[in-house]
Every structure is written in structure tokens, then in C-alpha cells.
Amino acid sequence: MWRWFHKLGSPKWFYAISGRWLPWFAVAALLLLSVGTVWALMFAPADYQQGNSFRIIYIHVPAAFLAQSGYVIMAVAGAIGLIWKMKLADVMAKCCAPIGASFTFLALVTGAVWGKPTWGAWWVWDARLTSMLVLLFLYLGVVALQSAFTDRNQAARASALLSLVGLVNIPIIKYSVEWWNTLHQPASLTLTEKPAMPAEMWVPLLIMVAGFYCFFTVVLLMRARVELLDRERRTGWVKDIISSGKS
């Protein structure tokens, strides 16, 4: 276990192994997302109350899931970097931030576009929406902090602290629909209960969620690999990669 941990911390080893994983995640993401999108747009039945605007759920829910899990991953990676001074964890935490921010943005905007025909308003200051907006600001704060320091270790430390403090927002997002009166509907998918929707509605939703997670893995690995090349540019293995001309 410890040897594995040390190995995983080695940038060279990680670069090699992630290069082997990437195509598989890319293929899985492509397959899941194309099947999911076609199913969502063309085959899933319309909602009896919301009509076809309900199809936005297939973007909105996976984006919101990813926004929150991405944040937890970023905070955990940040904590590992803080405690064990593991460089790779710092890299991961840094690379999560812009991706997570983009998916939080997507969740918010698709929510607004769905809210207009459903609630009659693009935006309401309700608990779920506000706590998601706070999540976006937390992500943007981490992105800003990461570039605010010339010293990488300082940047990693400050960002990790901010992400850990912001972690408190995650249960607030989750329970916001239960703690406060809100327009937002409660969870569509839970681990413990059977969904209230028919299978031809929730199966494509699950496929989309899986596709979004695979895509997140792909772009996270891509970013982390570039970041590693940049940080390790003075080492032999990176020079070999650069001079051999292959990516």
C-alpha cells in the first residue's frame, strides 16, 4: 500500500500510466455521452407537466453532480497535498478548479434556462440556487489563488485551505431543498430509493451522469499531464519526451 502510494506520487510514473488510461476513458465518455444525448433528446418521453423542457435535466443534473464531486475531489487532493506534501496531489487540486468551475457554470445556466419555462423566472434567490452560486465563487476563488502566487507551494497551500473551508458548502447544497422552502425540486436520483420517474427517463440520466464523470476524468488527466510536464521541465524524463517529439 505504501509503496503504491509512493509510486503514485512519482510524476514520471503517473505520466506514463495516465497516458495508458486516457484513451479508455475517452472512448467510454464518447460512447456514454452520444448514447445518452440521443436517448435524452429523441427517445425519452416528455414530462407530462413540463413537456419537452424537461430534457434539460440530462445536462443539468449531471453537471450539478460533477460540480459538487469535483469540488470534493479538489478539497481532498488539496488536503493530501497539505498533509503529505505530495506534489501530484497539488497538481490534481489545481487542475480540478477550472473544470469544476465550468461545470458549476453549466449547471447554473441550464438551471436558469429550465427555470424560465417552468417557474416563469430565470433566477430566484432560493437556497439551492444561491448555494450553487457560492460554489461557483469558491471555484473561481481557488483559480484566482492558484495564479496569485509565484511560489507553487504557497499557491497550493492557500488554495487547499480555501477549498477545505468551502467544503462546508457541499452539505448545504445537498440539503438546501429540505432545510428551506424552495422552488427547486428535490433530488431526482438517490442511492436508496427507486426514482419517481419511469425507467425510460432515468436510465438515460444515469448514462449521462456516467458520461460526464468519464469526461471529467479525461480532461482532468489531460490538464494534470500538461501541468506535470511544465513543473518537471528540468528533469530528464520530460526532456526525453520533448526531444523525442512525441506527445
Partner 1 sequence: MYFESFSEFLAMGGHGKYVWIAYGLAAMIFALNLVMPMLKRKRLIVEQTRQLRREELHASDS
Binding site for partner 1 (CB under 8 A): 37, 41-46, 51-53, 55-56, 59-60, 63, 98-99, 102-103, 105-106, 109-110, 113-114, 116-117, 215, 218-219, 222-223, 225-226, 229-230, 233, 238-239, 242-243, 245, 247
Of 121 and 226, the one with the shorter C-beta distance to partner 1 is 226
Q: Which is nearer to partner 1, 41 or 199 (CB)?
A: 41
Q: How far apart are CA 224 and CA 94, in angstroms?
A: 8
Give 62 or 82: the residue with its C-beta nearer to partner 1: 62
Q: How far is CA 204 from the centre of its chain?
A: 19
| Minimum separation from the CB atom of position 33 to partner 1 (A) | 8
Cell 456516467, residue located? 210
Place of cell 427547486: 184
Report, in Å, the least distance between residue 175 CB and partner 1: 26
140 vs 172, which CB is nearer to partner 1? 140
User: Do 233 and 226 meet the contact criterion of CB atoms below 8 Å apart?
Assistant: no
Least distance (Å) between residue 113 CB and partner 1: 5
Taking the complex as a whole, the smallest distance from the CB of residue 133 to partner 1 amounts, in Å, to 17
In eight-state DSSP terms, residue 40 is I
CB of 92 to partner 1, least distance (A): 14
Task: List alpha helices for the chain, DSSP H.
Answer: 2-9, 11-38, 57-84, 87-119, 127-148, 152-166, 169-179, 199-231, 236-244
If the CB atoms of residues 128 and 157 are measured against partner 1, the closer one turns out to be 128
C-alpha cell at 6: 509512493
Grid cell of 55 as nine digits = 430534457
Q: Which is nearer to partner 1, 29 or 82 (CB)?
A: 29
**Min dist. Cβ of residue 111 to partner 1 (A):** 9
DSSP label at residue 86: -
Q: How far apart are CA 68 and CA 189, in angstroms?
A: 15
